[in-house]
Amino acid sequence: MPICKHCNTKWTYKDSLKNMLRYKCPYCGEKNYIRKFRVRDILMMILTPAIVIFILPIFDTPFIGTIAIGLSLIAIYLLTYPINLELTKEEEPYF
């Protein structure tokens, strides 16, 4: 679970889900930034279902199966995202 770098408070799973796009500490109100290597992971997890949706039809996978696999990957990512989140005080360059 993420820890606020300003007040050193550990966020709960629910707090992490609420702040998925803002990264503002629910306890002290300070803005935190996501670690740069986590941004790369986020990009990969967004691209993976998209790639699956385009690749599986090549192998004659039914459309419903392709969509189900893509949505399952997105759901797994969203459920595990708060657990793997790491924060910093300053914004880091992405690449």
Give the tens place of pLDDT for each residue, 7-60.
988 988 888 888 777 888 888 888 888 776 666 677 777 787 778 777 877 888
Q: Which two tokens stand for residue 55?
A: 């690749």
Please check the confidence at residue 70 and state whether its pLDDT lies above 70.
yes
Q: Which contiguous run of DSSP H or E holds residue 34?
A: strand 33-34
DSSP state letter for 24: B
User: What pLDDT is recorded for position 47?
Assistant: 81
Q: Which contiguous run of DSSP H or E holds residue 33?
A: strand 33-34
Please say whether the dihedral angle defined by the alpha carbons of residues 40, 19, 86 and 88, taken in this order, is positive or negative. Answer: positive
Please check the confidence at residue 79 and state whether its pLDDT lies above 70.
yes
CB atoms within 10 A of CB 82: 19
User: What pLDDT is recorded for position 39?
Assistant: 66
Distance CA 20, CA 32 (A): 11
Identify the band that residue 95 occupies on the pLDDT scale cut at 50, 70 and 90: low
User: What pLDDT is recorded for position 33?
Assistant: 83
